Structure formats: C-alpha cells, structure tokens
Amino acid sequence: MVDVEGATVTGATKASREGCRRIAFPPERRLVLDTLRLGQRKHMMHGLLEVDVTRARGLLEEHRERTGERLSFTAFVLACLGRAVAAHPEVHALRDWFGRSVLFEDVDVTTIVEVSVQGRPFGLAHVVRGVNRRTAHDIHDEIRAVQAEGARSVPPGLRLATRVALLVPGPIRRLVFRILLRFPHLAKRHTGTVLLTAVGMFGGGPGWGLSAPGIHSLSIVVGGIAMRPVAVGQPAREVLCLTVSADHDLIDGAPVARFVRELRARLEGADALGLLDQTQGEGIATDSGGAAARV
C-alpha cells in the first residue's frame, strides 16, 4: 500500500514538474483519422459565401417569443440544404465499381453532434435521413434527441461493428473501408452523401471554416454570423458565413455554382420555415420558383 501511494505521489509530482498532464487518446478518434486519410487524394474545390439570413433568424426569434421553443438554426440549414441538393442531385453523386455516377433522390446528411462519451466531449457523426422531405422542426427534434441520448443513439449493431473495427490494424481497416465505399447504396446507408458541420455555434462573430477532405463528395461548413450594413439609415443585415466544398473529381464548377445559387435562395427566402411564418398561412411556404409548397 505504501509503494502504491508513493508511486502515485511520485507520478503526480512528475506531472506537476513537467507542467502538463497526460490523458488517453480516445480510440474513437482513430475512425476520424481513417476518414481523413481516405480523402487525401480528393481534389476539393471550395467556395466562401455570405448569405443573408436576416429573415430566417427573425422567424426563429418570433417562434421563440411566441412558443418559448428555441429551434436549431442548424436544423433550418439542413432542411434548406436537403431541398437544394435534391434539385441538383449531381452534387452528391457517388461512384460505383464501374466508374458510373450514382444519383440519389433522397438526401442523407451526416452532421456532427457533440455528445459526452465517458465524460469527455466527442463529435458524433449522425446521419439525418431524407432531409429533403422533412421540416426544420422535425430535424430539430432528431438532433435534440441525439444530444440527449449521446452514444446510446448509435444502434447496438453499429456500436458492435465499431468496436470490432477498432481491433483491426489501421491499414487493413482503411482498405476495407475503401472497398465498402465503392458500393454507393452501402456507403449512403452508413455515412450519408453530404457532410454538414456547424463550427459557428462554438464562437461568435464572422468567420469561415474549411473542412478537410474526407469521404463525402459534398461538404458544408456553417461558420459565424456577421452584421453587415446595407445602406445609410437602414438596419444591418445578419449574414451567414458559409463554406461549400465539392469533389472536383466528380463534378465541375458550373453545376456546383447552380447548386450554390439554389441553396442561397432557399436560405435567404427561409422556405423551410414556412410553418413559422404567419404571413404565409399555416403549413404553406413559397419555393425558390415562386410556387406554393407544403413543408
């Protein structure tokens, strides 16, 4: 007992003398490193955008004042993103073994939800299914449920597969992942076709973020929100800093530009918040082409 206590004191004294502390590297991080290595050969093109979200932010604030519920801004962006991608399915295409581009009707988006794993924060990759067919409120409820459940939100079968994968040496594990990702429907089921990460929620003020190349052909980084003056005597507008990254190996700049134009129109028009806008009528929103649509 004396030896153990002495060892503990010695270890604590050593750490204090070095001015640092050592903690175990989370094993789950190895899967994150795998995705980064798998995307090293991709040629990504990036676009830095400023999108006026004054109308959307106003509707969200009105909803909070009226109901007391604070809806997720990320959920709103996901709803708009899903509709824009569905209108331009080539931007989230996946390649099969024969080199063909596989275009999907439904849009499954992987978004990073911060949860607690063994007492430490961890960015959990959660796939939100069919965002092109869902309301922002529905997506909000799903994100909040994942935050509440944490790692328990991962299906037991997937948790078991993750534990097994972490026992496999890294090079072999990445080779298996690379093979599985060439089956488009399998890849879509487990990783989605689009990545969205909202780094802006962790800090205030304007700012963009660039995502590292990964396994997705399209990634969106939601940055900070800045106040931009438009004219003398006019109130400043709330502008969202948004980064769009697309795999140039799969798609050219022109289709991405058309997709970005669609995404901007939906974000600025706040179509996905039609249920919150009392001037539109209950359950009715106006799409970017001006036609009424149920959301």
Domain ranges (residues) in the chain: 23-294
Q: What is the pLDDT of residues 5-35, one digit of tens each?
A: 444 455 555 555 677 877 777 777 788 888 8
Could you tell me the CA-to-CA distances from 261 to 84, 254, 268, 275 in Å, in that order? 9, 11, 11, 23
pLDDT of res. 17: 66
Q: Average of pLDDT values for 227-252?
A: 86
How far is the first Cα of the chain from the last one, in angstroms, to the nearest whole number?
Answer: 67
pLDDT level of residue 276 (50, 70, 90 thresholds): low
Confidence of residue 282 (pLDDT cuts 50, 70, 90): very low
- Quote the mean pLDDT of the chain: 80
β pairing state of 101-102 and 120-128 = unpaired
If we measure between CA atoms, which residue out of 104, 114, 107 comes closest to residue 272? 107
pLDDT at 224: 87
CA distances from 214 to 135, 149, 158 (A): 28, 26, 20
Q: Is residue 216's pLDDT more than 80?
A: yes
What distance in Å separates the CA atoms of residue 124 and residue 165, rounded to the nearest whole number? Answer: 17
The CA distance from 232 to 246, in Å, is 37
CATH number, span 23-294: 3.30.559.10
pTM greater than the 0.85 cutoff: no
Task: List, for residues 137-184, the tens digit of each pLDDT value.
Answer: 999 999 988 888 876 777 777 777 778 888 888 888 888 888 888 898
- Work out whether strand 109-117 and strand 194-198 pair parallel, antiparallel, or are unpaired: parallel
What number of CA atoms fall less than 13 Å from residue 264's CA on the CB side? 17
pLDDT digits (tens, 9 = 90+) for 60-94: 999 899 888 888 899 999 999 999 999 999 999 99
Output 294 or 282, whichever has higher pLDDT: 282
Task: Identify the three-state secondary structure at position 71.
Answer: coil
Instruction: Supply 47's token pair.
Output: 């676009």
- Taking 80 as the threshold, does the pLDDT of residue 43 lie above it? yes
